[in-house]
Structure 1
Amino acid sequence: MRRRHVLITTAVLGAAGLAAWINLPAVGRVFDAGADRVAALPPTAPFRPGQRVLVLAPHPDDETLCCAGLIQQAQAAGARVFVAWATAGDGFEFDAVLTRRVLDPGPADMRALGDTRAAEARRAVALLGVPPERTFMLGYPDGGLFRLFTTQYAEPYTAPHTASGAVYVRGALTPGAPYTGRALEADLSRVLGRVRPDLVLAPAPQDFHADHRTLSYLAMRLMSARGQEARVRYWVVHGGLEWPLPKGLHAGLPLTLPPLAKTLPWARADLTPAQVARKRAAVDAYRTQTRVMGRFMHAFVRQNELLSAEPLPEERGADGLKVSPTSR
């Protein structure tokens, strides 16, 4: 079954790449229109000295793809940046095939992949200036967060790839914590209590990946319970078929709006050439990932990054005035 999954994944990735190549003229027209829209966006609010910024990442590499430039800008402004990873990224079998050099990776191979990706995550954020003591690896199951959020809130979940039912990854915040939604929420609450963030950068609920959406729901709920939902800013990594376009490294191009979340009230963070170069170095620290999906990951190394102050599109009332999703 696992071997068939690897073959199917390879075929799908190849077909998607071929489709993008065949439709290059159409892609170019769409990109040009998207670039104009990005240029018209307002700038993100500047960071402040002493501000405490927490980046919530579903998997190792998400913090770099979404926010490597913002992390650098925050620290340059005198803010303190913290990063928490909900999972160790131990569910990508094709990744394990290449890194472990086995055709049919077993649970031990997948757990080894999780430890490797956790180590890559710490190296990547160190390149961005975030020291180890400001990072938190939670280590819950890759691909299983929605189950923890729903059916496995109280009863432990056994991850199919690792055969684990508890946090095993080295350096985890709570080693041995059961794979339950209750334990995940407790760890996230523990991180919020330690960091006391003035700003949280979290995935948007429109992100296509279920782990991303689930972490978005948890972030909104926990911050709302603290009366601090206005402190959350949202980003997207899995934003729709083939996004970002064009694939590969195009550091001189803008990052356009993700199709699945194009109606959010986005703001643009323009990056300097030095910040773009440092972001590329951080992306390349994820060798397990770039070997498999390097063209996707390098597509985020652009002139800008995007944040939304709201998780839902703006609406207008009967009088035509804007209605904030959080004001109803």
Structure 2
Amino acid sequence: MTRPRRAPPRPLPRWTLPATLLVLLGLAAWINEPIPGVTGREARAVAALPVAPAFRSGQRVLLLSPHPDDETLCCAGMLNRARAAGAEVFVTWITAGDGFEFDAALTERTLHPQGRALGERRVGEARAAAVVLGIPLDHQVVLGYPDGGLRFLNGVNFDRPYTSPRTGASATYLREAQTPGAPFTGEALEADLTRVLRRMQPDVILIPAHEDFHPDHHTLTLFAQRIAARLGLQGRLRYWVVHGGLEWPLPKGAHPALPLVPPPLARHLPWQRVPLDAEDLAVKTRAVNAYGTQTEVLGRFMRAFERRNELLSPSDTAR
């Protein structure tokens, strides 16, 4: 049997090589482009911000964290300062952080992850970060509501269970949750948060600002404000941001000598700065390192919060 003769390869167009070289040169220029940093003007603006009131001995400080790691990114340094000043520090994680599909695929080593394994692992990482921050086990609460689903609990699923597309769960599956088996409804979440606030009686409540871009973050704000108003605690709310605008904070990676500038989406808020010393930064770095599932994928973003200050706002509206 005679094999068919292959047709001779077609010559490449004359412009192929020059075009390829131009692309490679452009890519090289992009790779070597200096990473935008903090300008001198921005640094001076941060230095001019008022310093947040210091935490005091005997204060009860509660941070409501939408996902495991938010408490570290926004506030690990100030929580360390609060504890060093003699304040009692509490943290409550609202979700298990099980909604990051790519991360779940890496964790479960499958293209079709269920997500629950990631949730259990991230809660374990949150516990480890809390140990670094010196927060006792009895000051930690896990609620276990659906990552990526809080906005539904504040709407159509306020009184009927929401089913998470990532885990298939319509109720809390974590055995260590404050209310195991709690349905994924807004009513159940409000009841759980109300129990937390009544039991802990915090003097300071740290929550996301409305301007935080992540839906879980600004939805938690709505729940927390409603409950705080009902309990007469609205004057104790203080606000932070983690998702503050495209690429914020820049530059990526750890830059402990640089200031953290106010996020673009919330520049108008009355920000205060919390200066961090070397010990605060070392503690924050160790807490970030506790989140192995996250640093593997988002390490440069997470380390971009390792700066010489953190930011807090006493109000979620401009003065």
Q: TM-score by structure 1 length?
A: 0.86
Runs of 4+ aligned structure 1 residues displaced above 4 Å come to 21-26
Q: Give aligned-pair identity as a percent.
A: 59
- Pick one of 265, 272, 280 that aligns with 1:275: 280
More divergent stretch after superposition (235-244 vs 214-223): 214-223
Aligned residues: 291
Q: CA deviation at 1:91?
A: 0.3
Displacement of 1:45 in angstroms is: 0.4
Q: What is the letter of the counterpart of residue 148 of structure 2? A: G
CA shift for structure 1 position 32:
3.4
Q: Does 1:228 align with 2:229?
A: no
CA–CA distance in structure 2, aligned partners of residues 176 and 33 of structure 1: 52
| Aligned ranges 1:200-279 → 2 under 5 Å | 200-279=205-284
Return the match for 1:305 from 298, 310, 314: 310
Offset from partner CA, 1:272-324 (integer Å, 9 cap, x none): 1011011000001000000000000000011010000001111xxxxxxxxxx
Partner of 2:80: 72
**Per-residue deviation at 1:31?**
3.8
Alignment of 1:186-197 (within 5 A): 186-197=191-202
Taking the TM superposition and a 5 Å limit, the aligned residue runs for 1:27-106 are: 27-28=36-37, 31-105=39-113
1:104 deviates by 2.6
Unaligned runs of 5+ in 2: 1-26
Match runs of 1:10-21 below 5 Å: none
Within the candidate set 160, 170, 175, 1:165 is matched to 170
Give the Cα–Cα distance (whole angstroms) in 1 for the partners of residues 247 and 32 of structure 2.
12
Partner Cα distance (1:185, 1:60) in 2: 19
RMSD of aligned alpha carbons: 1.4
Contact 1:31 1:256 in 2 (8 A): no
Partner deviation per Cα, 1:66-100 (whole Å, 9 max, x = no partner): 01011111111111000001100000011012222
Runs of at least 5 residues in structure 1 that lack an aligned partner in the other structure: 1-17, 315-328
Pick the structure with greater CA Rg: 2
The equivalent of 2:17 in structure 1 is none
1:25 CA drift (Å): 5.5
Q: Is the contact made by 2:107 and 2:117 (CA closer than 8 Å) also made in structure 1?
A: no
- Residue 119 of structure 1 aligns to a residue whose secondary structure is helix
Amino acid at match of 2:68: P
Q: 1:5-26 CA deviation, whole Å, 9 max, x = no partner? A: xxxxxxxxxxxxx9xx679568
Q: Do the aligned residues in 2 keep the contact of 1:168 with 1:175 (CA within 8 Å)?
A: yes
CA deviations on 1:183-241 (whole Å, 9 max, x unpaired) are 00000000001100000000000000000000111111111112221100000000000
Task: Give the partner amino acid of 1:176.
Answer: G
How far apart, in 2, do the equivalents of 1:210 and 1:22 lie? Answer: 32
SS in 2 for 1:201: strand
CA deviations on 1:115-164 (whole Å, 9 max, x unpaired) are: 00001001101101001110000000000001001110000000000000
After superposition, give the CA deviation of every residue in 1:25-64 in whole Å (9 maximum; x if it has no partner). 6834x64332221111000101111100000000000000
Structure 2 CA distance for aligned equivalents of residues 24 and 197 of structure 1:
47
Q: Distance in 1 between matches of 2:194 and 2:238?
A: 18
